[in-house]
Amino acid sequence: MKHLSALLTALVITVVIGFGIFVIGVNALTNTRTVPLQNSPNTSAASTTNSNTAVGPTTATTNVQQLQQEVSTLQSQLNQATQANQQYLSLLQVLQQRGIIVIDQNGNIFLPQGTSGEFH
């Protein structure tokens, strides 16, 4: 008897959810009020192509120049970050050589605690 009521309950729930999904699908198909897609790859590619052909090659050249400037800026920022990283690494090496810190194989840094000189 318990199996029959469980099956009936599952069947009723399935029918109710299926009907809800069906109603939502029909509503979506028959909806006449639509909103244009803003970030669709197809529409952005078409608008880019149309804008490049309508404006001409000077806009494309300007875009290329702007991108080259951005690349140059990012490259200089990367060089600065690399230099800073190298300075931090040399500082860590000096601290390790002087026994102020200990760096294990996993990159964990340990400092001595107390007067015993144990590293924790």
DSSP per position, 12-59: HHHHHHHHHHHHHHHHHHH-------SS-HHHHHHHHHHHHHHH-HHH
Closest Cα to residue 103, out of 94, 82, 81, 113?
94
Q: Report the length, in residues, of the chain.
A: 120
Q: In the prediction, which pLDDT does 34 show? A: 74
Closest Cα to residue 24, out of 55, 54, 6, 16?
16
Q: In the prediction, which pLDDT does 3 show? A: 85
Q: In the prediction, which pLDDT does 119 show? A: 58
Q: In the prediction, which pLDDT does 41 show? A: 65
**Residue-wise pLDDT tens for the chain (120 aa)?**
788 888 899 999 999 999 999 999 998 888 887 777 676 666 555 555 555 455 567 888 888 999 999 999 999 999 999 999 999 999 999 998 988 888 888 988 888 876 555 655
User: Which amino acid appears at position 105 of this protein?
Assistant: Q
Dihedral sign, Cα of residue 28, residue 31, residue 36, residue 42: positive
Beta bridge partners of 103: 109
- Are 111 and 119 spatial neighbours (Cβ–Cβ below 8 Å)? yes
Domain ranges, ordered by start, for the chain = 57-119
- Are 73 and 79 spatial neighbours (Cβ–Cβ below 8 Å)? no
Q: In the prediction, which pLDDT does 82 show? A: 94
Q: In the prediction, which pLDDT does 61 show? A: 86
